[in-house]
Structure 1
Amino acid sequence: MKYDLNRLSSAVRLALCAGIFSVAGAAQAQATTPDNPEPTGQTALPSKKDAKTLQSVVVTGSLIKRVDVETASPVVTLDRSTLTNSGKPVLGDVLQQLPSISGNATNPQNNSNGGGVASPLLEAGDGASRVSLRGLGINRTLVLVDGQRMSNPDINLIPPDMIERVDVLAEGASTVYGSDAIGGVVNFILRKNYKGAQFSLNDGISSHGDAKRHGFNLTAGTTGDRYSIAAGLDYNKYDETLAARRRFSRQQLYLSSGAVVPAGSSSIPTGRIQVPASIAAQYGCAVNSSGTSQVTLASGDGSALGDYRCRLASDTYNYAALNYIQTAQKRTNGFVLGSFNITDNVTAFVDAFYNHTVSSGQDAPSPVGTGDGLIISSSNPINPFGITFSQNPVAGDPNSGYNFQTRLTGAGTRVHSYTTNTGQVNAGLRGAFGQSSSWIWDASINYSHTKRDQRDTNEVDIPALQAAVDGGANIFNQADPSVGSLLSQGVKTPIYVFTQSTKQAQVDASGELWDLPAGAMQLSVGALYRKQFMNYTVSDFAVLNPVTTTCQILQEACGSPGRGSFDVKEIFAETLIPLLSDKPWARSLNIDLGVRSSNYSTTGTTTNGKVAIEWRPTDDLLVRGTVSQVFRAPNLNELYDGRTLVQPNLNDPCVGLSAAELAAHPVACQYVPVNWAGNSPAQVNTFYSGAATVGAKLKPEKGKSIDMGLVYDPDWLPGLSTSLDFWHIYLSDTLTAIQADTVVGSCFNNSASPYCSFIHREDNTSRQPGQVFLINTPVVNLGNLSTSGIDYTLRYKLPHFNLGSIDPGNFRAALNTSYTSTYNVNATPGQPGARTINYAGTFTPQFGNIARWRGTVTLNWDKGNWNAQWQSRYINHLTALNADAAISGVNIPVASVIYHSFQLGYAVPSIHTRFDIGVDNIFDKQPPLLYQNGSNYNVDTATYDVLGRYYWARATVKF
């Protein structure tokens, strides 16, 4: 393209300035030393002479190689200094603070959700951090390493020292990268031509004296005339932190009937013991309508009736105190980056990294009782009551069927331990079609593999626990250590192993087609083949029985194996057409067209295109816009997850109907008797699963992404850059697990509904005909979602000035904000009563934190060997929907939050060493309370800091 040098210099300066600054902070400049001639993290602005020698590069969001890095795609870049200034040893802690990221996402503050969860990839407690751009969820954000997708999108797995920068594109990019790039992409760009060696030590601790972390990294590299190689090793360790260490999380809080109530579980170690009125009378306990009451152990060993008293409402167990607000984790990373020029026109390359993570979450000891199948016979010597405790009456025993519930503290806490191994290799050849040709080519193969081994210690094994109780383990007296030793024979450690791999081969080529009056028309074309595979195994005794809805251990830890794969073949092309150049009010006008056709073995073929416009009416102003089609093919979990038990309440439309009304709904209300009273109990068994598990079919989510914006880089104020972008993303046929109410309601209103086959009721041979004993609730295509908003950035590097004879140094400032105007969801379009809800400015368990405003302000300073950074991060106030546990529809306000952090660095050139110290959350800001309703530890751990003020330090030596 025929840019004049003024415009090229302006464009490059703006692009590089955007790389210096980011939402995470403006770039820090390191001191100039013989080993570090340019400030690390700050690229020197090129002169007009330098601009002539710049080589074209592929920018995130496009397949075209270009010199002008500022394109139609609004990319936010975090360079190395931004990453290091944060003081964070893992990348997730930096990325998740971007204003464009919101909603639900996992991070090391998420403790645990137990075994056998719905999606085996998304275990809390595994130390992972995942990204949710635009609040659209982690499945709609694509994570790349040098443009190659990661099979496991946990960004904490990536060795930070192998990353040169991070590009974040918060708009749909399906034509460039394929499926999943709906909210956008996060592209980790690898370091190139690294030379030298560097060793760094880091340490940190909270102001509460906990949450310790420490680690080190070593990186070395060398380059020659024909080769480049760099390698590194990284280790970091985070200590676990108990929720009891913070006031807001030391006990679970409920908002009930307008009052905040500290609460706990009624499953207590001293027992919740149901006894008949004849026994309750000796304690003076009130008797309920069923003629029974509840007692609990007061003192003694529980062998005599005198050891018990009436159970009070205040007799609860504080399970929250044993959870972690920071999971325990250790990570070891290694990487190798290399290239070799085979000829002048052909280069071989390999990029490889490996991560080994050990992490763990913790839950309180298991609640267990007769509802889980445990029986304590009246003849058992440990039982002083003379009655049998069992879920149902025992034949031949008239004094049976009484409930018993306890907390198995004698067996210890439940620890969910994870060992995750991830490796990724991208290797291939790249080259040119000759010195005189503009065309270049690339052929690569990519392989990635993740294996996560999850072990849940101290899960109750009902048969083993029954044997221990029958053998004399006094479950009434868990305070006795000898009893605990016996009860520990009643627990097991189920193992859940999740494996996922990706194999890909890709070829592409790009270059100039022909010259037009405004410049050269460029084209990039390519094709790829990718195969993805998953396998999820569960210990035999933990496999869910779909008939009984139980397994050998407690129901909460039951899981189901899943296995499956798919392959995709894609062809893609993108062309950049210069329409005008060096015209009045059109210094340049380009159109960018892209198309990608994707054929999935599971869902067929989908073709998507994009149109992008870049218009520079003057040298200082870029007007840009992109309209692209986006899609997301169902992933392996959504297709092949095994069954997981969920037990929601069902609003059954078949309750209380006449014979004529039942006849009008023969499928949905099959076997339901006239004037039926409804399910008893109200909770019904539902099986979440992938679609293929129940024989259902899925299709891709599809929609549009629109982005329009301005970039202004005025010549009259050097160092200033500002941008304004409007974005809108719309999706239909969203992939989601259907709810039981939706299944039954859809079938009730349409006997031909495909969901009718998901309903299973007891037939006329049962004692409870019409009772729902199972509803399949798999992943289906159902729902529409759209979101829109505005991003604004302002970056300014102040001109250097002196205060008399004093040189105050160099100053830079950055503002980055994102405003969410709408987040509209219609969960059941086409269904009776369906409506669209705008979740912008709200918190819900389903969609998480969709605060309208998020932003950061960052100030940087450097002088000589010194540098400093101050950053403020803002999250707007919002409304927590349906927050009252006792009153439906009650919403509560959630306050806005501002976090401040500070970093100070000093370089000692004589010993090639740099020292950095920092404080995060300087003013020890506490997270706003959301209580029990849909949040961990009474707060939103995906959004707010839970550790409080945190101190860190780092020393870096260069060789």
Structure 2
Amino acid sequence: MKYDLNHLSLAVRLALTAGMLSVAAGVQAQVSTTTNPPATDQATDQATPPSREKAKTLNAVVVTGSLIRRVDVETASPVVTIDRETITNSGKPTLGYVLQDMPAISGNATNPSNNSNGGGVASPLLEAGGGASRVSLRGLGINRTLVLVDGQRMVNSDINMLPPDMIDRVDVLAEGASTVYGSDAIGGVVNFILRKDFQGVQVSLNDGISSHGDSQRRGFNLTGGMSGDNYSIVGGLDYNKYDATLASRRDFSRQQLYLSSGTIIAAGSSSIPTGRIQLPASIASQYGCDINSSGTANVTLATGDGSNLGDYRCRLSSDTYNYAALNYMQTAQKRTNGFVLGSYDFTPNLKGYVNAFYNRTESSGQDAPSPVGTGDGLIISSSNPINPFGVTFSQDPVPGDPDSGYNFQTRLTGAGTRVHSYKTDNAQINTGLRGNFGQDSSWIWDASINYSHSKRDQRDTNEVDIPALQAAVDGGANIFNQADPAVGKLLSAGVKTPIYVMTNSTKQAQFDASGNLWDLPAGTMQLSVGTLYRKQSMKYTVSSFAVLDPVTTRCQILQEACGSPASGSYNVKEFYAETLIPLLADAPGAQSLNIDLGVRTSDYSTSGSTTNGKVAIEWKPVADLLVRGTVSQVFRAPNLNELYDGRTLVQPNLNDPCVGLYAAELAQHAAACQYVPVNWGGNSPAQVNTFYSGAATVGNSLKPEKGKSIDLGLVYSPDWLTGFSTSLDFWHIYLSDTLTAITGDLVVSSCFNNSASPYCGLIHREDTTSRQPGQVFLINTPVVNLGTLNTSGVDFTLRYKVPHFNMGSMDPGDFQVGLNSSYTSTYRNNATPGEPGAQAIDYAGTYSQQFGNISRLRGTVTLNWSKGNWNAQWQSRYINSLTALNTDAAIPGVNIPIASVTYHSIQLGYAVPSIHTRFDIGVDNLADKAPPLMYQNGSNYNVDVSTYDVLGRYYWARATVKF
């Protein structure tokens, strides 16, 4: 369903314009007329006494989801807060694991368990093995979730870079908030609120290990702070280290699993160390091999050093290589953090502040040794002494050599595993001044400068250097016999370590002002206005030998590790405003009724201007019940990667509609089928290439994604049940012109159906001078604006702090229970609106490689207990059953049912006041529940590592001393 905001948006802008025109007069009146009392906050018969008004002004703060300073606990924005106690009780040394347990977070998101996707780098976007954790609210993806620190965006949205001891609380707003925060806040925002009141010094040590005896983590943090009448400062250091865990340490991931005819098959790669060697029938027949339709068969090394024909046998389908066993299930990680948070009151009306933090993350992922062969350009000549077969192994027939063009494929175990090592440095500083327009004025202002910088250095060891490997083979390195250490030493000369460096920076200047406008019968009308300028830049560099050649589609090393340099920047200028208008108070059926109107205009140097508005209603028919609703326009401007990413090679399965056509049919589709011969047999799959890239790389432009976010909810806090509160929210987010990388299939089919399609120019076929006219050599598949996406559902929360009671002479302590749940009703995507046969697919309740895990229902239940120096917590996390959509061609049309999963964790703490020390112990995944299998549909681990626990039962302990 759609909501038309055109008239509403106009009304919002008119109301805000009127309000802003009154600001100057209102401020002037308040500054010059000091004898007048300040405006009232509530609808009363008399003005609020100055002392009460001053107290309210001091207590008011900017809440997540609004620019208006409020004292209300509940507003129109459905914010879920994770407090310090929850963070501490989790026992997690990084924030990523804490946040990703929230029910509103789903879909695809990176976390420290992610290792790699087969080696190399597909683009600067990938950080597999980088130790990062990112957030995907509502399953809409990490690019549609905005991460903030005290309301300021992070240049690197890796939430593991933030030390937990730096955080006072985390506010999670799972609704669109573009009018408040600008681009990217479509699924919502995660706002980390910093500590500002720490006194003394605190030292904490932590350690943990799985019940399998691996995956150890350990660390410490040191936090100190002090404050005086006009200053405060908090600083700290944090260090944590995670050991790597091989996938072979768990039964479900020790080998790649496939599902065939209802049977689970443990399989692997056909690229094996003993070789997959194609031979003509004249040679292969002596081994008794079955000759295929092309008159060839494959053999492999069976014994000996491979120098004699008798050393070989027929290759069987069971001859595979278990590459999964060498992947990391948990990547090796080491983090060092430092932060300083300070403020100083220069005068009663002027304060300076600075928030600064730095993080270095060192991590590494691992892949099996490289598969390599003639398809990568390697040639083993028939005259080479290591070759006993008398034929030449090469990708194409060699002119003048009739016994050439036979395939050879091996696994380069002699050169060692491929290791992807990362060093990521992140720094951010936000500093500024804030004050008010006189001691008795309600108007405050804030001027800030925000600078952040991120640099990621990735080094891939043991990537195959084809010319160097060719030289080693030509020099006598017997690639048929990799079991020989001497051969391995020679082959190791055929590898290199490419370096890929990604740098991002943000520079921002911002000014905000907010205060009261005038008194209305129901209370005081408030206004907040602001403006900002932000410039974001990126640069990506690649070692020269790893730079992809767009003409040959190759680089000096294996294609999987080829990359392209990239750089770009944009700037944005924004103006925004929000007003809170009290309409009714203490009226029949309306204890209070407020309307919140907001608007933001953004001018991007790359994608132009966009204006977006919101309207929010807060209605309390009675004191115990809040009815709230927000309708807002949302947008996401194309980011730097989507604009400027360099070319990256992908080899897809292409369904070419030009196969087998008559001359008349080819003439009707001349743009899509250029150079294709009559009754053409089709492409050679190994030679079809696509180039993913940013839009600007191929000369295209992008516009922002746009859509609407709707939230309607109830908050009930009954006066008759002290300590109880519950909320129910219905939400709906939908987008059009979604930014996505187009597929090769869609490029060709769009051009085939419409010769005027803008995608026709992206297709490049071999011309009539080629040996294979019509063969698709290359399809450019850049990021484009295409598709619609909408999702809807219901959130439900419950909190109850049980009143203290005694059971006779026994005091059982204090209890608090909490429930947080999210139900996804729909998740519809139409990838090709306007194309023939295009239709929306509902992914709610499914797992897919494109969108990840969109289980319909997720929830957490938490029970807290405290008594004296003791406290304990029990938490359960539930993920509903779903269906894994099949993407494996080996089992077409077969979807995999995935059972529901419930995880339990417990924590127990005891404080010893005499030595200022507290001890905590805990167990995660108490039942040692294994993740549900998704087989080849999952990752290299056969499971969804972004959603489920892969380590099993985990024990942890922590000691904290404060003095």
Aligned counterpart, 1:189: 193
Aligned counterpart, 1:907: 911
1:312 CA drift (Å): 1.4
Q: Could you say if the C-alpha distance between residues 836 and 719 of structure 1 is closer, same or farther in structure 2, counting changes exceeding 3 Å?
A: same
Residue 567 of structure 2 is aligned to residue 563 of structure 1: yes
Aligned counterpart, 2:8: none
- Taking the TM superposition and a 5 Å limit, the aligned residue runs for 1:528-543 are 528-543=532-547
Aligned counterpart, 1:677: 681
| Among 58, 82, 87, the residue aligned to 2:62 | 58
1:742-764 per-residue CA deviation (whole Å, 9 max, x = no partner) reads 11111122222111111112222
Q: Is the 8 A contact 1:256 1:885 kept in 2?
A: no
Aligned counterpart, 1:504: 508
Tell me which moved more, 524-533 or 770-779: 770-779
Residue 863 of structure 2 is aligned to residue 869 of structure 1: no
Q: Distance in 1 between matches of 2:594 and 2:310?
A: 88
Residue 654 of structure 2 is aligned to residue 650 of structure 1: yes
Q: Is the 8 A contact 1:254 1:885 kept in 2?
A: no
Q: TM-score, normalised by structure 2?
A: 0.94
Aligned counterpart, 1:456: 460
| Among 679, 703, 714, the residue aligned to 1:699 | 703
Q: Is the 8 A contact 1:442 1:509 kept in 2?
A: yes
| Among 217, 220, 241, the residue aligned to 1:216 | 220
Aligned counterpart, 1:355: 359
Q: Is the 8 A contact 1:116 1:644 kept in 2?
A: no
| Among 492, 497, 500, the residue aligned to 1:493 | 497
1:284 CA drift (Å): 2.3
Aligned counterpart, 2:86: 82
Residue 894 of structure 2 is aligned to residue 890 of structure 1: yes
Tell me which moved more, 287-296 or 441-450: 287-296
Amino acid at match of 1:735: L
Tell me which moved more, 89-98 or 653-662: 653-662
Q: Could you say if the C-alpha distance between residues 52 and 438 of structure 1 is closer, same or farther in structure 2, counting changes exceeding 3 Å?
A: closer
1:851-888 per-residue CA deviation (whole Å, 9 max, x = no partner) reads 00000111110000000000000000001112554232
1:382 CA drift (Å): 1.7
Q: Is the 8 A contact 1:372 1:462 kept in 2?
A: yes
CA RMSD of superposed structures (Å) = 1.5
- Taking the TM superposition and a 5 Å limit, the aligned residue runs for 1:49-198 are 55-113=59-117, 117-198=121-202
Percent of pairs identical after alignment? 82
| Among 921, 928, 936, the residue aligned to 2:932 | 928
Runs of 4 or more, structure 1, over 3 Å off, are 1-5, 48-54, 114-119
Aligned counterpart, 1:841: 845
| Among 614, 617, 630, the residue aligned to 1:613 | 617
Q: Could you say if the C-alpha distance between residues 513 and 104 of structure 1 is closer, same or farther in structure 2, counting changes exceeding 3 Å?
A: same
Amino acid at match of 2:361: T
Q: Distance in 2 between matches of 1:759 and 1:329?
A: 42
Q: Is the 8 A contact 2:687 2:776 kept in 1?
A: no
Report the secondary structure of 1:126's partner residue.
coil
1:311 CA drift (Å): 1.4
Q: Could you say if the C-alpha distance between residues 701 and 100 of structure 1 is closer, same or farther in structure 2, counting changes exceeding 3 Å?
A: same
Residue 326 of structure 2 is aligned to residue 322 of structure 1: yes
Aligned counterpart, 1:659: 663
1:3 CA drift (Å): 4.9
1:478-532 per-residue CA deviation (whole Å, 9 max, x = no partner) reads 1111111111100000000000000000001000011111111000000000000
Residue 554 of structure 2 is aligned to residue 554 of structure 1: no
Tell me which moved more, 478-487 or 329-338: 478-487
Q: Could you say if the C-alpha distance between residues 192 and 713 of structure 1 is closer, same or farther in structure 2, counting changes exceeding 3 Å?
A: same
Aligned counterpart, 1:478: 482
Amino acid at match of 2:796: Y
Aligned counterpart, 1:743: 747
Residue 775 of structure 2 is aligned to residue 771 of structure 1: yes
Aligned counterpart, 1:638: 642
Q: Distance in 2 between matches of 1:682 and 1:542?
A: 21
The answer for unaligned runs of 5 or more in structure 2 is 1-39, 45-51
Amino acid at match of 2:404: S
- Taking the TM superposition and a 5 Å limit, the aligned residue runs for 1:403-482 are 403-482=407-486
Aligned counterpart, 2:7: none
Q: Distance in 1 between matches of 2:774 and 2:287?
A: 42
Report the secondary structure of 1:833's partner residue.
coil
Residue 430 of structure 2 is aligned to residue 390 of structure 1: no
Q: Distance in 2 between matches of 1:682 and 1:329?
A: 37
| Among 565, 580, 583, the residue aligned to 2:584 | 580
Report the secondary structure of 1:391's partner residue.
coil
Q: Distance in 1 between matches of 2:891 and 2:432?
A: 61
Aligned counterpart, 2:732: 728
1:295 CA drift (Å): 1.5
Tell me which moved more, 466-475 or 168-177: 466-475
Aligned counterpart, 1:282: 286
Report the secondary structure of 2:101's partner residue.
coil
1:890 CA drift (Å): 1.7
Q: Is the 8 A contact 1:86 1:94 kept in 2?
A: yes
1:659 CA drift (Å): 2.2
1:704-739 per-residue CA deviation (whole Å, 9 max, x = no partner) reads 000000000001110110000000001000000001
Q: Is the 8 A contact 2:651 2:686 kept in 1?
A: no
The answer for unaligned runs of 5 or more in structure 1 is 6-47
1:278 CA drift (Å): 2.9
Q: Is the 8 A contact 1:118 1:641 kept in 2?
A: no
Q: Is the 8 A contact 1:116 1:560 kept in 2?
A: no
Amino acid at match of 1:166: V
Q: Distance in 1 between matches of 2:57 and 2:634?
A: 36
Aligned counterpart, 1:806: 810
Amino acid at match of 1:441: W
Tell me which moved more, 119-128 or 443-452: 119-128
Q: Could you say if the C-alpha distance between residues 682 and 268 of structure 1 is closer, same or farther in structure 2, counting changes exceeding 3 Å?
A: closer
1:4 CA drift (Å): 9.3
Q: Is the 8 A contact 2:308 2:388 kept in 1?
A: yes
Tell me which moved more, 130-139 or 576-585: 576-585
Amino acid at match of 2:844: A
1:115 CA drift (Å): 5.8
Q: Is the 8 A contact 2:43 2:520 kept in 1?
A: no
Q: Could you say if the C-alpha distance between residues 776 and 569 of structure 1 is closer, same or farther in structure 2, counting changes exceeding 3 Å?
A: same
Tell me which moved more, 834-843 or 669-678: 669-678
Q: Could you say if the C-alpha distance between residues 760 and 727 of structure 1 is closer, same or farther in structure 2, counting changes exceeding 3 Å?
A: same
Q: Is the 8 A contact 2:117 2:940 kept in 1?
A: no
1:771 CA drift (Å): 1.8
Aligned counterpart, 2:240: 236
Q: Could you say if the C-alpha distance between residues 951 and 50 of structure 1 is closer, same or farther in structure 2, counting changes exceeding 3 Å?
A: farther
Q: Is the 8 A contact 2:119 2:418 kept in 1?
A: no
Q: Is the 8 A contact 1:720 1:795 kept in 2?
A: yes
Q: Is the 8 A contact 1:722 1:792 kept in 2?
A: yes
Q: Could you say if the C-alpha distance between residues 340 and 641 of structure 1 is closer, same or farther in structure 2, counting changes exceeding 3 Å?
A: same
Q: Could you say if the C-alpha distance between residues 682 and 374 of structure 1 is closer, same or farther in structure 2, counting changes exceeding 3 Å?
A: closer
| Among 947, 950, 957, the residue aligned to 1:953 | 957
Report the secondary structure of 1:656's partner residue.
coil
Q: Distance in 2 between matches of 1:238 and 1:4?
A: 57
Report the secondary structure of 2:529's partner residue.
strand
Report the secondary structure of 2:284's partner residue.
helix
Report the secondary structure of 1:261's partner residue.
strand
Tell me which moved more, 64-73 or 268-277: 268-277
Q: Is the 8 A contact 2:221 2:239 kept in 1?
A: yes
Residue 231 of structure 2 is aligned to residue 227 of structure 1: yes
Tell me which moved more, 130-139 or 759-768: 759-768
1:934 CA drift (Å): 4.2
Q: TM-score, normalised by structure 1?
A: 0.94
Q: Is the 8 A contact 1:377 1:389 kept in 2?
A: yes
Aligned counterpart, 1:15: none
Report the secondary structure of 2:611's partner residue.
strand
Q: Distance in 1 between matches of 2:122 and 2:809?
A: 67
Q: Distance in 2 between matches of 1:681 and 1:580?
A: 69
Q: Distance in 1 between matches of 2:356 and 2:686?
A: 53
Q: Could you say if the C-alpha distance between residues 774 and 464 of structure 1 is closer, same or farther in structure 2, counting changes exceeding 3 Å?
A: same
